[in-house]
A and B are shown apart, each in its own frame.
Chain A
Amino acid sequence: MITPEQHIRLYKEMLRIRCAEAALAERYKQQEMRTPTHFGLGQEAVPVGVCAALTKEDVAYSHHRSHNHYLAKGGSVYRLAAELFGRKTGCSGGRGGSVHLTDRESGFIASSAILAECVAMATGSALSFAMDASDRIAVAFFGDAVAEEGAFYECLGYAALKKLPVLFVCENNGYATESPLSIRQPEGASIHGRVASFQIPTRNIDGNDVAEVYLTALEVVDEMRRKPGPVFMECRTYRWLEHVGPFFDHELKRTYRTKEEVEEWMAHCPVKRHGAYLLENGHATGEQLSTWETETRKSIEDDIERAYQDPWPDVQTLMDKVY
């Protein structure tokens, strides 16, 4: 059961991430964020639902489309924006860029650009937890294309063999860059079906329904703390914007997917959908929803502007921290 307060919290968190990504994408168009950025608009429900089921001691890793995961685990919009602007105050000091984020304080250890690395890192942290008989959990957030890299399967085998407390969260958005799943993976071969053959418990859920994601995550996390071992969640969702950059594909006349397909998925917007749920169940009023949105937008604009005003890193630090 999810309490009304929890529903509201889930909504507000999705709203924060949605507004942050929308504002960053808008600002990105000014060419002052010089870092290839993969925006996560439309995919907010999975990170929010999963992270809401975790504690601060649990750790998370992500791939190139990592803003949502960084923010949902507790990272700040201000330090993310500063990172995109290449500022000294960025979460990675302006050295990492959009695909190399970190916020250890909240348990978001790292995102990295090569697909299966995050799966391996999460498995490694889970190995550490298992060796220490700790009840902490490591989570890897990744996309459907990870299921095409070998290290993914090595990790599945190892996590199952060693009964590691690692939660694999696959956000299946149907595309790797501009390449649809149908030309990358055999017809009828589901990712979760393949994972199940490793004797790993799997869930296959609607990744645009934050309540379903949250309830599933709560259940599996509880299971994992009681009886350590990996669990795999496949969450069906959809990316709204182009693979990398702030535009819709149709704005740039790309043809790998249709405008209609994108609009159909946008109609299943996870944020709108949960807002409607709050209204229907009397957990919030329309006025509240619009106040929250106005406040969130304002605070995010302030964060982005503050980050923009921050200083560059000192050029003298170029060679620092190589070792």
Chain B
Amino acid sequence: MRIIKYNEAISEATVEAMTRDPSIFLTGHAAAYPSGLFGTTARAAETFPGRVFDCPSMENAFAGIAVGAAAMGKRPVFVLPRADFMFLAFDNLLNLACKWHYMYDGNAGRVPIVIRAAVGKGWGQGATHSQCPHAPLAHFPGLTVALPSTPADAKGLLLNAYTNNHPVIFFEHRSLFGTEGEVPEQMDPIPFGKARIAREGTDLTIVATSLMTLEATIAADELAKQGISIEVIDPRTVRPLDEETILASVAKTGRLIVADCSWEMCGFSSEVAGLIAEKGFHSLKAPVRRIALANCPAPVSLPLETAFYPKASTLAQAALRLLNKDEQDLAGIDRVDYFKGPY
């Protein structure tokens, strides 16, 4: 099958959707730059110059402007080069967009908005250019929150987002833009709330979001050499959450690690731990383990930053411990961050 990059898959989904639906427009800071938001908007900008345009730095108002445009039949796509800027948009997003259909009982119509945001990591991105606020967003009824980890998932989920009738938040991890994977020429939209079993296994389940799916797969590959069988589940959307697939996996393996690209406290890893405590307790052979960012803001300095992020070796060690195996020196399995500056 054809192999393309994550950013190419996003670009392709965008151009395909915009070709089919003239009501889609795309805007955001740097959206129409030649670099095109990590290469994801450049082709759309060339193909649809009137429908891809740059936006001033007005994240707060634009989320509301998107609602007003959507209420008139448009399908706004608002892109944010860093997800951290989305905090400015929380008012219109959380008080208005995600409540729209419910709060007016459907009488005010629909507001199909897609917000795409890049999550930064590494190369000293620092405290305010590296966050992934999927958990606080997933807290709110009415939103869909997607974090694809492969090119195929990125394309399929985005095709769904572009045709959906309610607001969708789409997190694209900067460390994934250059990764490759199989993507069929013709792809159907991927439904929300349907997890992907990235790798089947029997000894332990790792539920991992976004980039952590990649880390979990590397850990699983390494442990497989030692006869340990890890199942890796990528929920793909954290709201709606595919509880069934997670529960079925834990029923099989009896051990669970949740690996998230944000913090533990009131976060996604805690949500899944709660799910298992409530509905999968009797399957457990060991306590649930959460692997997330260190409980501090993201530091810049290289050794601090390296210690801040969990990686494949962190997951592999945690798995060994849950399986009552001896710890090993696994630092060699970790990916080298290919990324070069300046941003």
A, B co-complexed: yes
What is A's interface to B at a CB cutoff of 8 Å?
Answer: 59, 61, 90-96, 100, 102-104, 109-110, 112-114, 116-117, 119-129, 131, 138, 150-151, 154-155, 157-158, 161, 321-323
Contact A93 B105 (CB under 8 A): yes
Known A117-B91, A321-B101; judge A93-B67 contact (CB<8 A): no
Contact A102 B107 (CB under 8 A): yes
Q: How large is the interface on B (under 10, 10 to 19, 20 to 34, 35 or more residues)?
A: 35 or more
Contact B105 A96 (CB under 8 A): yes
Which residues of A lie under 8 Å from residue B142 when comparing CB positions?
322-323
Which residues of A lie under 8 Å from residue B105 when comparing CB positions?
90, 92-96, 321
What is B's interface to A at a CB cutoff of 8 Å?
Answer: 25, 50-51, 56, 58, 60-74, 76, 91-92, 95-96, 100-109, 141-142, 144, 165-166
Which residues of A lie under 8 Å from residue B165 when comparing CB positions?
323
Known A95-B104, A104-B107, A321-B101; judge A128-B60 contact (CB<8 A): no
Cα A125 to Cα B68 in complex, Å, equals 5
Cα A112 to Cα B73 in complex, Å, equals 19
Residue pairs across A and B with Cβ atoms less than 8 A apart, 30 shown, are A92-B104, A92-B105, A93-B105, A93-B107, A100-B104, A104-B107, A109-B68, A109-B108, A116-B61, A116-B64, A120-B62, A120-B63, A120-B65, A120-B68, A121-B64, A121-B71, A124-B64, A125-B68, A125-B72, A127-B68, A127-B69, A129-B72, A151-B60, A151-B91, A154-B62, A155-B64, A158-B56, A321-B105, A322-B102, A322-B141
Contact A117 B60 (CB under 8 A): no
Known A121-B71, A124-B68, A125-B72; judge A92-B61 contact (CB<8 A): no
Which residues of A lie under 8 Å from residue B95 when comparing CB positions?
112-114, 117
Which residues of B lie under 8 Å from residue A110 when comparing CB positions?
71, 100, 104, 108
Known A124-B71, A129-B72, A157-B56; judge A117-B107 contact (CB<8 A): no
Which residues of B lie under 8 Å from residue A125 when comparing CB positions?
68-69, 71-72
Contact B103 A120 (CB under 8 A): no
Which residues of A lie under 8 Å from residue B62 when comparing CB positions?
120, 154, 158
In whole Å, how far is A60's beta carbon from the nearest beta carbon of chain B?
A: 11
Which of B25, B51, B92, B107 interacts with A92 by CB under 8 Å?
B107
Which residues of B lie under 8 Å from residue A95 when comparing CB positions?
102-105
Contact B104 A151 (CB under 8 A): no
Contact A109 B71 (CB under 8 A): yes
Cα A176 to Cα B292 in complex, Å, equals 44
Most chain B C-beta atoms within 10 Å of own C-beta, residue among A96, A112, A120:
A120
Contact A91 B71 (CB under 8 A): no
Contact B96 A154 (CB under 8 A): no
In whole Å, how far is A90's beta carbon from the nearest beta carbon of chain B?
A: 8
Contact A96 B104 (CB under 8 A): yes
Which residues of B lie under 8 Å from residue A92 when comparing CB positions?
103-105, 107-108
Cα A157 to Cα B106 in complex, Å, equals 31
Cα A158 to Cα B29 in complex, Å, equals 13
Cα A61 to Cα B64 in complex, Å, equals 12
Give me the 3 closest cross-chain CB pairs, A-B, nearest first: A124-B68, A120-B64, A93-B105
Cα A149 to Cα B104 in complex, Å, equals 24
Cα A100 to Cα B104 in complex, Å, equals 7
In whole Å, how far is B247's beta carbon from the nearest beta carbon of chain A?
A: 21
In whole Å, how far is A32's beta carbon from the nearest beta carbon of chain B?
A: 20
Which of A96, A104, A161, A323 interacts with B103 by CB under 8 Å?
A96
Cα A123 to Cα B50 in complex, Å, equals 18
Which residues of A lie under 8 Å from residue B100 when comparing CB positions?
110
Contact B92 A117 (CB under 8 A): yes
Most chain B C-beta atoms within 10 Å of own C-beta, residue among A110, A126, A157, A158:
A110
Contact B74 A128 (CB under 8 A): yes
Which residues of A lie under 8 Å from residue B141 when comparing CB positions?
322
Cα A122 to Cα B72 in complex, Å, equals 10
In whole Å, how far is B181's beta carbon from the nearest beta carbon of chain A?
A: 29
In whole Å, how far is A183's beta carbon from the nearest beta carbon of chain B?
A: 24
Most chain B C-beta atoms within 10 Å of own C-beta, residue among A95, A121, A322:
A121
Known A151-B60, A154-B56, A154-B60; judge A121-B106 contact (CB<8 A): no
Contact A100 B61 (CB under 8 A): no
User: Which residue of chain B has the shortest Cβ distance to A125 in the bound complex?
Assistant: B68
User: Which residue of chain B has the shortest Cβ distance to A93 in the bound complex?
Assistant: B105
Cα A62 to Cα B147 in complex, Å, equals 35
Contact B107 A91 (CB under 8 A): yes
Contact A154 B58 (CB under 8 A): yes
Cα A311 to Cα B278 in complex, Å, equals 38
Which residues of A lie under 8 Å from residue B103 when comparing CB positions?
92, 95-96, 100
Contact A121 B104 (CB under 8 A): no
Which residues of B lie under 8 Å from residue A94 when comparing CB positions?
105
Contact A158 B25 (CB under 8 A): no
